[in-house]
Amino acid sequence: MGLESIVKDEVKSLGYSQIQTDNGKVQFEADLSGIARTNLWLRTADRVKLLMGEFDAFSFEDLFEGTKALPWDQWIPRDAFIHVVGKSHKSKLYSVPDCQSIVKKAIVSKLQESYGIRGRLEEDGDKYKVEVAILKDKVTLTIDSSGTGLHKRGYRAHQGDAPLKETLAAALVKLTNWTPEHAFVDPFTGSGTIAIEAALIGQNIAPGFNREFDSENWDLLPRSVWDQAWEEAEDLANYDQPLNILGSDIDHRAIEMAKANAIEAGLGDLIDFKQMQVRDLRPSDEIGYLVGNPPYGERIGDKNVVEQTYRDLGKVMKDYPKWSVYIMTAYPYFEKCYGAKATKKRKLFNGFIKTDYHQYFGKK
């Protein structure tokens, strides 16, 4: 939530149109290749789902008939294991388990008819996750083409106390004007997520390059769709782009984790990680970008330490007027401690925590 406009920009730059944004979702039209390309390339979206259909339902019969009328047989093969999940909000059909079971029955009934199967479906093939989402009596049916959420890039084997979701870390980088010719620092790097996402962006590496997706196994999707998307990702990666990225942290265990994660991502040599307190930070570049997710001081007793950390950061960055500084925190008095008002602030959710992304633009 809060990232819809960034996801929209990403969808647009992949070349898709008819984009509509709504709370927590971005809807667009794509051809078959879009299934693979969006899964591979979207850095800030959680999942890519195929919109099978939308209709109003006020009774279980409406739900059954509306579901059965959709072309499930175009996507789901006869041996599929069909797993239905659901949610319902402000609707007559409020019992989610009942809705799930009706949707499953309707899909099974459709497939039995299409494939001419009399008895039960075997369901011993690949998994197809269908979602029934009902909002104000409007039913939306989707098939999940991603599998595990897209934030799971496959590189974060190690994580610290409060790791940032990879999708949010990518969004923090995308919200800056950083380009890979410039220096980039995350002085609160933890497990290294922001620095790693910056490196992936800097070298135009598809964030999904290191993982698998459910739709790679879809029998009814031509194999060439995924093959071409993987090939395109390989072609577009710019492994020769030099990077100047530093991740530092007060905690040496965090630095070990961040290094291991960067190696897992194949970026081991590209990012510098260093154990250091933020007050000791002295970038050598005149121009640069600092992006960080410092502690927020939620635990009792942490407040003074957190305030001191923000003061230290403000003091250091005062000597770097050409650096742009971006800090995400839920602490309401960040600017006071940092010693300057942010040029711009943007509300972002870090999980369920409402935060402000404080943006200080460097002098030109």
Ligand X SMILES: C[S@@+](CC[C@H](N)C(=O)[O-])C[C@H]1O[C@@H](n2cnc3c(N)ncnc32)[C@H](O)[C@@H]1O
Interacting residues toward ligand X by CB under 6 A: 160, 162-164, 187-188, 190-191, 193-194, 249-251, 254, 277-278, 293-295, 309
CB closer to ligand X, 216 vs 249:
249
Provide the minimum distance between the beta carbon of 140 and ligand X in the complex, in angstroms, as a whole number: 32
> What three-state secondary structure class fits 358?
strand
CB 190 within 8 A of CB 262: no
Q: Which residue is nearest to ligand X (CB)?
A: 190
Provide the minimum distance between the beta carbon of 163 and ligand X in the complex, in angstroms, as a whole number: 4
Pick from 270, 286, 147: nearest CA to 218: 147
Structure tokens at 336: 């006071």
Provide the minimum distance between the beta carbon of 349 and ligand X in the complex, in angstroms, as a whole number: 15
Using CA atoms, how far residue 84 sits from 88, 133, 180, in Å, is: 13, 11, 43
Distance CA 132, CA 140 (A): 6
CB closer to ligand X, 82 vs 276:
276
CB closer to ligand X, 132 vs 265:
265
Structure tokens at 307: 């305030």
Provide the minimum distance between the beta carbon of 188 and ligand X in the complex, in angstroms, as a whole number: 3
Half-sphere exposure of 64 (CA within 13 A, CB side): 10
Spell out the alpha helix ranges (H) of 265-341: 303-318, 334-338
Distance CA 176, CA 191 (A): 21
Using CA atoms, how far residue 283 sits from 61, 112, 223, 317, 323, in Å, is: 65, 65, 48, 10, 10
Using CA atoms, how far residue 242 sits from 54, 181, 200, 204, 316, in Å, is: 47, 7, 12, 12, 26
CB closer to ligand X, 102 vs 194:
194
Provide the minimum distance between the beta carbon of 332 and ligand X in the complex, in angstroms, as a whole number: 17
Provide the minimum distance between the beta carbon of 41 and ligand X in the complex, in angstroms, as a whole number: 21
Provide the minimum distance between the beta carbon of 251 and ligand X in the complex, in angstroms, as a whole number: 4
Please count the helices (runs of H) and the strands (runs of E) in the chain.
10, 13
CB closer to ligand X, 39 vs 355:
355
CB closer to ligand X, 215 vs 248:
248
Phi, psi of 253, deg, nearest 5:
-70, -35
CB closer to ligand X, 63 vs 169:
169
CB closer to ligand X, 131 vs 166:
166
Using CA atoms, how far residue 252 sits from 199, 213, 272, 273, 359, in Å, is: 21, 34, 14, 10, 28
CB closer to ligand X, 72 vs 155:
155
Provide the minimum distance between the beta carbon of 241 and ligand X in the complex, in angstroms, as a whole number: 23
Provide the minimum distance between the beta carbon of 63 and ligand X in the complex, in angstroms, as a whole number: 41
> What three-state secondary structure class fits 26?
strand
